[in-house]
Amino acid sequence: MPFTAESVTFSIFAFFTIVTALGVVLSRNPVYAAMNLVGTFFFLAGIYALLVAHLIAFMQILVYAGAVMVLFLFVIMLLSTGEEHLEPERHRLMQYVGVLGAVGLLAVLSSVIARIPDSSMGPLPDAARFGTVKAVGTMLFTEFLLPFEVTSLLLLVAIVGAVVVAKERI
Amino acid sequence: MVPITYYLWLAALLFTVGLAGVLLKRNALIVMMSVELMLNAANLTFLAFARQSGNIQGHAIAFFVIAVAAAEAAVGLAIVIAIYRTRGAVNVDEVRALRE
């Protein structure tokens, strides 16, 4: 990989993405895990911007780092007694076997990725429009109109379902 | 230009970290956060291939994945609240029966 501004930016963002993702998994306190997850989402948004996905990068910050994380933190504040993360976690044998399985999955994915020819990404056909709000929006409202509307139905069902499940008494 | 394999390596690592979190952690909230990590790894793969092929349809899939992840977080956290209300814990090992 040549030493360009893009590759340096990618390396920095990728490094901190992995570090904060490990922070999510390794931290005992759910609040620390949530803060690390916010960091992961922000650095991933940077990676998305490098991939010329401007709209998705903005939505990553708005929806994930904004809405979803507020929801997570709200539930943590609602539930946490502040004590349960202090007691040592008991790890069963099956959990370590599971982590071994995850590493095995990484090995399988590595062997697949290693077979991909190391093609660098060429210039985009229409670089001025690629990934802009206009281009993605036009596609969503023409080609993907039915899935888009079904998504709104899905969100409605999720809202009603969340209220029904979380409410003590209807 | 960064080759596509670097993005795929990053996505594979992120997915593995998320999967290890799902299998290792016992706190239901952190398990759900790890699921979000795995969804983001899938999104990264879609966007990398969209960039390489110059085809913008991968962005639509990433958009739908974000919408589904938001719905999943809402319903999942509601279930966590309901479990906490009936059992007083968010440990996934203690939740084994679907009844009650």
pLDDT digits (tens, 9 = 90+) for B3-26: 888 999 999 999 999 999 999 888
Q: Which residues of A touch B47 (CB under 8 A)?
A: 48, 51, 53, 56
Report CB contact under 8 Å: A139, B75.
no
Q: Which residues of A touch B94 (CB under 8 A)?
A: none
Q: Which residues of B touch A63 (CB under 8 A)?
A: 66, 70
Block residue for tokens 């709000």? A133
For residue B23, the Cα-to-chain-centroid distance in whole angstroms is 13
Q: A114-118, A145-149, B68-72 — which is least confidently predicted?
A: A114-118
Name the residue among A64, A79, A91 with its Cβ closest to that of B90. Answer: A79
ipTM of the complex: 0.91
Q: A28-32, A85-89, B47-51 — which is least confidently predicted?
A: A85-89
Would the pLDDT of B29 be above 60? yes
**Percent of chain B whose predicted confidence (pLDDT) is above 90:** 60
**Percent of chain B whose predicted confidence (pLDDT) is above 70:** 97
Q: A32: pLDDT confidence band, cut at 50, 70 and 90?
A: very high
Would the pLDDT of A87 be above 70? no
Give CA–CA dist A37/B15, Å, rounded.
14
Give CA–CA dist A69/B73, Å, rounded.
9
User: How far lies B75's CA from each of A34, A89, B22, in Å?
Assistant: 18, 26, 18
Closest Cα in chain A, distance from residue B17 (Å): 7
For B64, which residue in chain A has the nearest alpha carbon? Answer: A151
Would the pLDDT of A85 be above 60? no
Residue B40: HSE in the Cβ half-sphere, 13 Å Cα cutoff: 35
Name the residue among B3, B26, B63 with its Cβ closest to that of A56. Answer: B63
Report CB contact under 8 Å: A125, B47.
no
Block residue for tokens 């509307």? A149
Give CA–CA dist A79/A48, Å, rounded.
33
**What is the rounded average pLDDT for all residues in chain B?**
89
Report CB contact under 8 Å: A21, B70.
no
Domain edges within chain B:
4-92
At residue A81, the pLDDT reads: 60
DSSP states along chain A: ----HHHHHHHHHHHHHHHHHHHHHH-SSHHHHHHHHHHHHHHHHHHHHHTT-HHHHHHIIIIIIIIIHHHHHHHHHHH--S-TTTSPPP--HHHHHHHHHHHHHHHHHHHHHHHS--PBP---TTTTTTT-HHHHHHHHHHTTHHHHHHHHHHHHHHHHHHHHHH-S--
At residue B27, the pLDDT reads: 87
At residue B40, the pLDDT reads: 95
User: How far lies A79's CA from each of A4, A43, B85, B88, B95, in Å?
Assistant: 47, 28, 9, 9, 16
Q: Which residues of B touch A122 (CB under 8 A)?
A: 1
Report CB contact under 8 Å: B30, A51.
no
CATH class of B4-92: mainly alpha
At residue B2, the pLDDT reads: 84
Report CB contact under 8 Å: A130, B85.
no
Would the pLDDT of A73 be above 80? yes
**pTM, rounded to two decimals:** 0.90
For A162, which residue in chain B has the nearest alpha carbon? Answer: B75
Name the residue among A21, A139, A154 with its Cβ closest to that of B56. Answer: A139
**Residue A68 in contact with residue B36, Cβ under 8 Å?**
yes
Tokens of A130: 């690629």
Q: A57-61, A119-123, B13-17 — which is least confidently predicted?
A: A119-123
Q: Model confidence over A152-170: pLDDT tens digits?
A: 999 999 999 999 988 876 5
- What's the alpha-carbon Rg for chain B, to the nearest Å? 17
At residue A4, the pLDDT reads: 85
User: How far lies B40's CA from each of A81, A85, A144, A160, in Å?
Assistant: 30, 26, 21, 25
